[in-house]
Amino acid sequence: MVAEEKPRTVYWLDNSLYLNITNRCSNNCWFCFRNFKQGISGFNLKLKREPTTSEVTAEFEAALRLKRWNEAVFCGFGEPTARLDILLEVARWIRKRCGGSVLIRVDTNGHGYVLNKDRAVAEELRSAGVDKVSVSLNGHDEASYAENCRPMFDGGFSAVLDFVKRAKTAGLNVEVSAVRMPEVDVEKVRAVAESLGVPLRVREYIPCFW
Ligand code: SF4
């Protein structure tokens, strides 16, 4: 039974390994899968507690024995920059363990600077070996973003834009992502992405969650 599956920090889809290092998030998107799903592709992503760096790397090491992976993606049922130090430690470990053979990506809600005051978040990600950030933007202005993503602070939309700009400046490969659904005006989000000089990736809703 799915409900009895052990909570997973490391899980996989196709040729990518995913890291679910936290279930905390500074948004409360009405469409978030964790509100009504247990995980993805049979992996339980509902953590009973947050894993330590060594627990994450031990699970990752075990997964490395299964096959050759193309990328490691920090993406789970929470915002990875809510645990910035663990994220950085694990990214450094992956870069050392896998060299350049594995691309490291962080899927983020773009609130890294709000969650980590006085930190050089983008530069720290880059120097830890992160190659790319995929920043979710499910709104085209403060009002639509607030309605869809319900951030825990004011100015959520501006915070995401600021993160995208700083990530670009830090030399990270940056894309913006949006979920295709009636409440998101994809063309307006595309215009925002274009104004920032980054590509937009449109994701279909519920491709493989259970
Ligand atoms: S930003 Fe992602 S993890 Fe956070 S509430 Fe929204 S969909 Fe869920």
Looking at residue 209, its pLDDT comes to 47
Q: How far is the CA of 198 from the centre of ligand 1 (A)?
A: 21
What domain range includes position 82?
A: 2-204
CA distance 2 to 117: 38
CA distance 201 to 119: 28
Instruction: Decide: pTM greater than 0.85.
Output: yes
Question: What is the domain count for the chain?
Answer: 1
10-residue block means of pLDDT along the chain (210 residues)? 76 96 97 88 94 98 96 97 98 97 97 97 98 98 98 98 98 97 96 98 69
Residue 13 parent element (H or E): strand 10-13
Mutate to test the pocket of ligand 1, among 149, 150, 152 (most ligand atoms within 8 A of CB): 149
Q: Is 209 a member of any domain?
A: no
Residue 33 lies in a domain: yes
User: How much distance in Å is there from the Cα of 99 to the middle of ligand 1?
Assistant: 30
Q: Which ligand 1 atom minimizes the distance to the CA of 77?
A: 3
174, 105 Cβ separation under 8 angstroms: no
Listed residue (47, 178, 169, 19) closest to 106, CA to CA: 19
Cα(36) to centroid of ligand 1, in Å? 12
The per-residue pLDDT for 206 is 64
Protein residue whose Cα sits closest to atom 6 of ligand 1: 29
pLDDT at 92: 98
Residues with CB under 6 A from ligand 1: 25, 27-29, 32, 34, 78-79, 109, 136, 149
Whether residue 129 is contained in a domain is answered as yes
Residue 210 lies in a domain: no
Q: What stretch of H or E contains 136?
A: strand 132-136
Give the CATH number, domain containing residue 163: 3.20.20.70
- Res 35: pLDDT: 87
Q: Report the distance separating Cα 9 and Cα 11, nearest Å.
A: 7
The whole-angstrom separation of Cα 124 and Cα 187 is 32
Residue pair 84/116 in contact by the 8 Å Cβ criterion: yes
